[in-house]
């Protein structure tokens, strides 16, 4: 459903992403791992059409993001880093705005907004402006806009960042609920999350894919099966990698 | 292909956003007080004993110069600062639709401010018998002038995440485009020995010259075309800037 081929991005003379390729199929939850600055967000921004790649492309449900961005964007639900939203709007108004842009009207629009409010557990705050909400609710509001049109491809940039343990649990449960009929990418630097939700993981470092496999396969790279050691070996470029 | 529904949805959100905060009301009051003060206090509307709106329209370029950048500075800068630009530009809309929606929302907002000056028309009509055609023409010219300033503001706002920079740059561009057609400036430049042809050519690019004709009651398609041209050019420039600097 999602094919990323040889995606590259230069910012001036800095090569942020140096040729990333992978595919995600329906039913898969792909964990996108890597240290800060590895190029995770840049890659996701290119896949979702926010920034244009220097070269390479991503094909989403048959639509090339560089040549047919509007059709490709229709198939994607995207939760950007830090879950941005319009803070002066109420939760209902914000979701209605997104729904209209997504092409829903009238009764269908109302139903979509209502169902996504229930699904994201926002019933108690639907009439509040987003600026008055806690971080967990803001995160869920932005999550709600990403899933409203039941996208085939769901891309989430650090969806559990800054949430408390209970909120993290809720978000992970929601991802698992939706996993069956979607292709999902979740970026994170929390290794335990990979075990909790992902069927496969990619480790990216210095703008390149350094590992791609199921959590069990990646674990097997260390004799003791410790994920953090594997991660460190693959992504630390200096200093003692393994003690 | 631009989708009118998308433009409408973005327009509605932007327009309502003005009224979601006190900014809109502060702005409208400031606009009306300023226009009223300048018309009655400085250009002595009553003392002139003439039933026309010449002293009223005289001030419009200068009031727009100050207040339009304030109304437009947040259009893109705020999206960048809060990160919603990433949300907006990954929705299935084109950048053209987004730009046009934002531009029209800001222009409509200024249009409301302009519309709320209607009591001065009633006053003039009650005191004498003004040429209503000239008044309508003046309002149309003023609306077009404000649209050009709004387009400049949209462009300036797209340049950075700072609203202050958006304000100052919009003000600088508008000021430049006004004074190149402002009579005292034209006279001063002519005095430096610059050929009259050059001075006139530059002055004819000014926001001021085209408004001067319209506020006197002359509608020329050339003037209307000029304002539409400025708007299209500025929005195209904003498109280039936004497209190239999305993530910064």
Per-residue pLDDT of chain B (248 residues; tens, 9 = 90+): 458 999 999 999 999 999 988 889 999 999 999 999 999 888 888 888 888 888 899 999 999 999 999 999 999 999 999 999 999 999 999 999 999 999 999 999 999 999 999 999 999 999 888 888 999 999 999 999 999 999 999 999 999 889 999 999 999 999 999 988 888 888 888 888 788 888 888 888 888 888 988 888 888 888 999 999 999 999 999 999 998 877 66
* CB-CB neighbours of A147 under 10 Å: 20
How far is the alpha carbon of A74 from chain B, nearest alpha carbon, in Å? 5
What integer pLDDT is reported at residue B163 of this predicted model? 94
**A76: contact with B, CB 8 A cutoff:** yes
CB contact under 8 Å between B84 and A88, yes or no, is: no
**B105: contact with A, CB 8 A cutoff:** no
CB contact under 8 Å between B92 and A82, yes or no, is: no
CB contact under 8 Å between A71 and B13, yes or no, is: no
**How is residue A60 written in tokens?**
């989403």
**How is residue A156 written in tokens?**
């989430």
Within the 120-149 window of chain A, which residues sit less than 8 Å (CB to CB) from chain B?
129, 142, 145
What integer pLDDT is reported at residue A68 of this predicted model? 94
Domain coverage including residue B66? 4-244
User: Cα A126 vs. chain centroid, distance in angstroms?
Assistant: 24
Angle at A59 between CA A58 and CA A65, to 5 degrees: 70
> Using CA atoms, how far apart are residues A207 and B27, in angstroms rounded to an integer?
47
**B218: contact with A, CB 8 A cutoff:** no
**B87: contact with A, CB 8 A cutoff:** yes
- A70 CB neighbours in chain B (<8 A) are 92-94
CB contact under 8 Å between B82 and A100, yes or no, is: no
- B91 CB neighbours in chain A (<8 A) are 73, 98, 101-102
Quote the DSSP letter at residue A130: G
What pTM does this model have? 0.91
CB contact under 8 Å between B246 and A50, yes or no, is: yes
Closest Cα to residue A154, out of A197, A103, A216, A101?
A197
> Using CA atoms, how far apart are residues B45 and B40, in angstroms rounded to an integer?
5
CB contact under 8 Å between B86 and A98, yes or no, is: no
CB contact under 8 Å between A84 and B84, yes or no, is: yes
What integer pLDDT is reported at residue B192 of this predicted model? 84
How far is the alpha carbon of A123 from chain B, nearest alpha carbon, in Å? 22
CB contact under 8 Å between A97 and B90, yes or no, is: no
Closest Cα to residue B97, out of B214, B10, B189, B178?
B10
| Residue to substitute from A63, A101, A139, A187, interface B, most B β-carbons within 10 A | A101
> Using CA atoms, how far apart are residues A173 and A217, in angstroms rounded to an integer?
24
- A102 CB neighbours in chain B (<8 A) are 91-92
Q: How far is CA B96 from CA A26, A124, B72, B101, B157, in A?
A: 33, 37, 17, 8, 16
Do A91 and A145 touch, CB atoms closer than 8 A?
Answer: no
Shortest CB distance from B90 goes to which of A78, A85, A87?
A: A78
What is the per-residue DSSP string for B123-148? HHHHHS---HHHHHHHHHHHHHHHHH
**A162: contact with B, CB 8 A cutoff:** no
- A73 CB neighbours in chain B (<8 A) are 90-92
- A100 CB neighbours in chain B (<8 A) are 5, 9
**B247: contact with A, CB 8 A cutoff:** yes
Shortest CB distance from A101 goes to which of B9, B17, B84?
A: B9
**How is residue A48 written in tokens?**
């979702």
- B87 CB neighbours in chain A (<8 A) are 78, 80, 84-85, 142, 145
CB contact under 8 Å between B90 and A100, yes or no, is: no
Which residues of chain A are under the pLDDT cut of 70?
Answer: 237-243
Shortest CB distance from A70 goes to which of B17, B86, B92?
A: B92
Number of domain units in chain B:
1
Nearest CA in chain B to A98: B91
């Amino acid at each position: 459903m999602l094919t990323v081929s040889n995606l590259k991005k230069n910012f001036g003379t800095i090569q942020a992403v140096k040729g990333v390729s992978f595919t995600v199929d329906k039913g898969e939850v792909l964990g996108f791992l890597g240290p800060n600055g590895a190029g995770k967000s840049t890659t996701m921004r290119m896949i979702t059409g926010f920034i244009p790649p220097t070269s390479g492309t991503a094909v989403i449900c048959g639509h090339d993001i560089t040549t047919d961005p509007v059709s490709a964007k229709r198939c994607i639900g995207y939760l950007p880093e830090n879950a941005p939203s319009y803070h002066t709007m109420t939760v209902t108004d914000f979701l209605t705005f997104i729904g209209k842009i997504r092409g829903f009207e009238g009764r269908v629009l109302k139903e979509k907004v209502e169902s996504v409010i229930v699904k994201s557990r926002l019933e108690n705050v639907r009439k509040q402006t987003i600026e008055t909400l806690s971080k967990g609710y803001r995160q869920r509001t932005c999550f709600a806009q990403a899933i409203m049109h039941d996208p085939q491809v769901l891309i989430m940039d650090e969806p559990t960042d800054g949430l408390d343990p209970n909120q993290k649990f809720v978000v992970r449960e929601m991802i698992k609920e939706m996993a069956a009929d979607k292709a999902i990418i979740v970026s994170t630097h929390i290794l335990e999350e990979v075990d909790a939700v992902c069927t496969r993981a990619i480790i990216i470092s210095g703008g390149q894919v350094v590992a791609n496999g199921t959590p069990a396969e990646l674990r097997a790279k260390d004799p003791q099966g410790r994920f953090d050691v594997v991660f460190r070996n693959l992504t630390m470029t200096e200093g003692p990698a393994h003690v | 292909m631009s989708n009118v529904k998308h433009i409408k949805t973005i327009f509605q959100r932007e327009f309502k956003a003005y009224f979601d905060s006190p900014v809109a009301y502060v702005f409208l009051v400031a606009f009306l007080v300023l226009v009223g003060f300048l018309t009655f206090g400085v250009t002595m509307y009553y003392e002139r004993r003439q039933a026309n709106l010449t002293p009223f329209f005289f001030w419009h370029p200068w009031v727009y110069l100050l207040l339009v950048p304030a109304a437009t500075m947040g259009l893109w800068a705020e999206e960048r600062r809060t990160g919603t630009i990433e949300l907006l530009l990954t929705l299935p809309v084109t950048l053209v639709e987004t730009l046009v929606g934002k531009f029209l929302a800001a222009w409509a907002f200024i249009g409301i401010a302009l519309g709320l000056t209607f009591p001065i028309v009633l006053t003039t009509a009650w005191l004498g018998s003004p040429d209503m055609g000239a008044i309508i023409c003046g309002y149309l010219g003023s609306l077009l002038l404000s649209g050009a300033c709004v387009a400049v503001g949209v462009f300036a706002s797209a340049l950075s995440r700072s609203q202050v920079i958006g304000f100052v740059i919009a003000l600088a561009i508008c000021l430049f485009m006004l004074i190149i057609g402002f009579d005292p400036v034209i006279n001063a430049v002519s005095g430096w020995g610059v050929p009259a042809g050059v001075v006139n050519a530059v002055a004819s690019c000014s926001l001021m010259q085209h408004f001067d004709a319209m506020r006197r009651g002359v509608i020329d398609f050339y003037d209307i075309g000029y304002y539409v041209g400025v708007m299209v050019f500025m929005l195209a420039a904003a498109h280039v800037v936004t497209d190239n600097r999305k993530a910064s």
